[in-house]
Amino acid sequence: MKHKGTRRTMQSLRFGLVGMLLPLTLSSTAQTPLRWNDTASPATTSAAPVSTGTHYSSPTQPRPYRTALAEQRMLPLAQGFDVASFERMAQQLTVGQRVPGMAMAIVHNGRVLSARGYGVTDVAAPQAVDSHTVFRLASLSKAFASTLTGLMVNDGSLRWDSKVSQYVPGFQLSDSAAASRVTVADLLSHRVGLQSHNAFDRDIEGNADYYDVTRKLAYAPLKCAPGQCYAYQNVAFSLVGDVVFAASGTFYDQALDRRIFKPLGMNDASVGLSGIQGSTRWARPHVRSRNGWVSLTPKPTYYRLPPAAGVNASASDLAQWLLAQTGHRTDVLPAPLLATLHAPIISTPGEMRAGWRRERLHAASYALGWRVFDYAGQPVVFHAGAVQGYRGLVALLPERDLGVAIVWNSDSSLPSGLLPTILDRAMGIPGQPWVDTPSDYDLLMADSPAMPPNEESGTSSQRAKATPQ
């Protein structure tokens, strides 16, 4: 125990800010899955004061966390990693409508180990959830935005350090010099410089028009110069959709379909409210009432921010997405691009405060549309999302070539414990009571701790939100 502080300090350095990085022109012929090295630069967490003049230091930009793409040895999954047991746990979570419905995908070493649905799409008109039932992904959509942007960087249509104002002439902040310095990478890593997390989300929740809300950014207080501090955003993040359109001449949803969904075989995936409602089978959102779960019509609010929260997908789709993000579809997502997307850029220590994160995380950062955790000494690429009636979690364990996605159609926190359970089993960490399932199953669990409050939005579970938990 006396070495714990030293260990955590070293881990924080390992996964901190990658400082003063060069923009990339990305390409790859590598056919091997990714594995991170240990060459991240020390973290920088201090916030630079906002200048009232025109002088700014050059903002940090992403580069691959691992630049050498030679074959590297992967660690095997630990003994006792049993996919069937995780599937039984998922099934048990839907018994008695504890959770109305959910879907889970697990991939390893380029193979789909599981892609299944559990429970029902709608408690009022039940249909079984299957591998092609579509769920709303909420903030899991952010990784799609960064990946699409990275593909455009790869083909020369954009640069990570392209200025947002070059593509969105109406973009303004309270400091005009700051606005002129915000880059594409700043949007995707929540480093615009705004003082408040989730700025103007309440306006979006109140059915405000997206473009009307973006104009309010001109009056939002700034905390730091662009690129120098972190504040999670949905409205500002979604400006990347306008950048994509200006740089390509293609609407954001069409670009996602053409460059990601179709090439990866994500045949159930879509963007927006019309996309999910047009699906052959989709999971309705549910909220609690005095009489149990009540199904609702999905709120259109955060669908107005497609890069931040607009994607819909099934377990089958998520399995293909995980295969691509773990480096097994280099024909679509080149390996150096994935290394760039998954590289930690700015420290986010607030992500370590509650639940399983408090127990397992030694460091936390944000990359490009992804979070990066030191989970019990091993890197995990992660994101969570929630809007009214939907929640989801995605994690990649690069050193063991594992990917996991879990989505469900309610505000319940019960399925959240499945993710650390799976990660613990993959790493061989002694089990913790992360999930509430009957004790007669081989994974002996007890009541899971409640999900932490949403530290970034401050909204209740009954209100639409698209922020990590």
What is the number of structural domains in the chain? 1
Q: Which domain holds residue 201?
A: 81-469
Q: Is residue 467 very low, low, confident or very high in pLDDT (cuts 50, 70, 90)?
A: very low
Give the lowest-confidence range in 54-63, 214-223, 371-380: 54-63
Give the phi and the psi of residue 166 in degrees, each rounded to 5: -65, -30
Asked whether residue 47 is domain-assigned, the answer is no
Q: What is the pTM of this model?
A: 0.83
Asked whether residue 371 is domain-assigned, the answer is yes
Asked whether residue 458 is domain-assigned, the answer is yes
Half-sphere exposure in the Cβ direction for 291 (13 Å, CA): 4
Q: Is residue 61 very low, low, confident or very high in pLDDT (cuts 50, 70, 90)?
A: low
Taking the C-alpha atoms of residue 389 and residue 367, their distance in angstroms, rounded to an integer, is 27
Give the lowest-confidence range in 19-23, 337-341, 410-414, 462-466: 19-23
Radius of gyration (C-alpha) of the chain in whole angstroms? 21
Give the phi and the psi of residue 106 in degrees, each rounded to 5: -130, 130
Asked whether residue 117 is domain-assigned, the answer is yes
**pLDDT value at residue 403:** 98
AA identity, residue 277: Q
Asked whether residue 69 is domain-assigned, the answer is no
Half-sphere exposure in the Cβ direction for 137 (13 Å, CA): 32
Mean pLDDT score, 394-413: 97
Give the lowest-confidence range in 43-47, 86-90, 289-293: 43-47
Asked whether residue 358 is domain-assigned, the answer is yes
Q: Is residue 400 very low, low, confident or very high in pLDDT (cuts 50, 70, 90)?
A: very high
CA–CA distances in Å: residue 467 to residues 11, 339, 383: 26, 24, 10
Pair 302, 466: CB distance under 8 Å: yes
- For the segment 160-218, what is each residue's pLDDT rounded down to a tens digit? 999 999 999 999 999 999 999 999 999 999 999 999 999 999 999 999 999 999 999 99
Q: Is residue 352 very low, low, confident or very high in pLDDT (cuts 50, 70, 90)?
A: very high
- For the segment 407-438, what is each residue's pLDDT rounded down to a tens digit? 999 999 999 999 999 999 999 998 788 987 54
- For the segment 284-337, what is each residue's pLDDT rounded down to a tens digit? 999 999 989 999 999 999 999 999 999 999 999 999 999 999 999 999 999 999
Give the lowest-confidence range in 2-16, 149-163, 260-274: 2-16
Asked whether residue 314 is domain-assigned, the answer is yes
Does residue 396 have a pLDDT over 80? yes
**pLDDT value at residue 437:** 52
Pair 311, 271: CB distance under 8 Å: yes
Q: Is residue 38 very low, low, confident or very high in pLDDT (cuts 50, 70, 90)?
A: very low
Per-chain mean pLDDT for the chain = 83
Half-sphere exposure in the Cβ direction for 321 (13 Å, CA): 32
Q: What residues are paired with 270 via a beta bridge?
A: 312
Encoded tokens for 35: 């594995």
∠ CA 307-183-54, nearest 5°, is 140
Q: What residues are paired with 371 via a beta bridge?
A: 366, 382
Mean pLDDT score, 454-466: 35
- For the segment 123-141, what is each residue's pLDDT rounded down to a tens digit? 999 999 999 999 999 999 9
**pLDDT value at residue 73:** 67
AA identity, residue 45: T
CA atoms 230, 231, 236, 237: torsion sign: positive
Determine how β-strand 378-387 pairs with β-strand 361-366.
unpaired
DSSP 8-state symbol, 43: P
Asked whether residue 40 is domain-assigned, the answer is no
Buried b (16+ CB within 10 A) or exposed e, 346-369: bbbeebbebbbbeebbbbbbbbbb
Choose from 20-24, 37-41, 246-250, 438-442 the range with maximum mean pLDDT: 246-250
**pLDDT value at residue 354:** 84
Does residue 47 have a pLDDT over 70? no
Q: Is residue 464 very low, low, confident or very high in pLDDT (cuts 50, 70, 90)?
A: very low
Taking the C-alpha atoms of residue 363 and residue 11, their distance in angstroms, rounded to an integer, is 6
Encoded tokens for 264: 């990866």
Per 3-state DSSP, the chain is made up of helix, strand and coil in percentages (nearest 5) of 30, 15, 50
Chain-centre distance of CA 269, in angstroms?
16
Q: Give me the CATH number covering residue 334.
A: 3.40.710.10
Other Cβ atoms within 10 Å of 124 Cβ, number:
12
Nearest to 139 by CA among 255, 237, 244: 237
